[in-house]
Structure 1
């Protein structure tokens, strides 16, 4: 195993996941409302999507990557609309009790929603192509590509683990009224993200 590629992948995955965007807002809100498991599972959905796009870039699946990149405008519009939907749903949702346990179907929904949102940004493939080339992972070097992608997933998962556990520490300090405002603020932020993404993308069509 090429440890250097694994370590580089972990650093890259952590760095890619760390900036707080719409996925981060979702994970923070879900952690505060439902607990660290819900937040972590949401983050793992994004990490899975990053790993998927990393595989496409690393294995040189040009037919798939070209299709996704060529259709990226429509993917981004769909992702923006879905963000608006999640934002409105979050804004209108009633706060859950702090002790509420998360059901398995809710966890699957948390995972699937962040997976879908991250997959609606296929330009990520181009980022991975550039990263792989810069690190000397050439097309055909499948073993190095696999190790790097595993590292990216692990690094991204570590960030979501740290975030969900860190935010969970603050969870017991919020009252029911506090959770109402968390839902409202999170919902408005997600709607803004979704509206900007949709409008900016439609203006390019």
Structure 2
């Protein structure tokens, strides 16, 4: 027999779990802010929706038990970090080419911005911290609702995704509003800072991946 109180509880807890879990700025969050500042709210939010789609993909993969390969193989995990680092650096270089005030570059910006959804999807998909996050959530919050039954689990999961989407909406909205309130050159400077942060993050991922692959993969 269905319990309305448990349904509302699963929706409430699921929503705020997804909302809070999305607050820490990862690579996709930085890129979504960058796109909102340089291309407008719509393109920045597309990055966020792509990131959420990658989260949904990982939720499905986790439920199928396929991430055991990643968690039990240090070499594979190391390669995953290295590939993620190179992807971030690649997107960083592309973003730098699109940031300019002349008309020719703006045309390139428009073309680049059209791929915002896939940018968010692949940055999140190849971010090695994403599966770790969802493994932790699936083993704690979601596991509780799984015990209550599939229906309650579905309510909690859908609410969690909605919470994540809501946070990214607020994030991109605040980013674009902040730019409008400040000086005109603030947009370009902020975009440059975000590009540097993504580049540094990419280098960090590569170094950590090499450490995992070499020192923890059995070569030394």
- TM band (smaller chain): 0.7 to 0.9
CA 1:155–1:183 in 2, change beyond 3 Å: closer, same or farther?
A: same
Gapped regions of structure 2 (runs ≥ 5): 214-220
Among residues 150, 153, 156, which one is paired with 2:161 in the alignment? Answer: 153
Which residue number in structure 1 is paired with residue 146 of structure 2? 137
* TM-score, length basis structure 1: 0.82
Task: Compute the displacement of 1:96 (Å).
Answer: 5.8
Which residue number in structure 1 is paired with residue 69 of structure 2? 67
* 1:77-107 residue CA offsets vs partner (Å, 9 max, x unmatched): 211111111222223433368xx89869834
Gapped regions of structure 1 (runs ≥ 5): none
Bigger Rg, structure 1 or 2 = 2
CA 1:74–1:144 in 2, change beyond 3 Å: closer, same or farther?
A: farther
- 2:27·2:124 contact (CA, 8 Å) conserved in 1? no
Among residues 93, 106, 111, which one is paired with 2:113 in the alignment? Answer: 106
- 1:79·1:117 contact (CA, 8 Å) conserved in 2? yes
Q: Distance in 2 between matches of 1:188 and 1:103?
A: 21
User: 1:29 aligned to 2:38?
Assistant: no
- 1:65·1:125 contact (CA, 8 Å) conserved in 2? no
* 1:108-163 residue CA offsets vs partner (Å, 9 max, x unmatched): x211112112122332342132224663424x943233222211110010011111
CA 1:34–1:105 in 2, change beyond 3 Å: closer, same or farther?
A: closer
RMSD (Å), alpha carbons: 2.7
Flag the structure with higher helix content. 2
* TM-score, length basis structure 2: 0.77
Task: Compute the displacement of 1:187 (Å).
Answer: 1.4
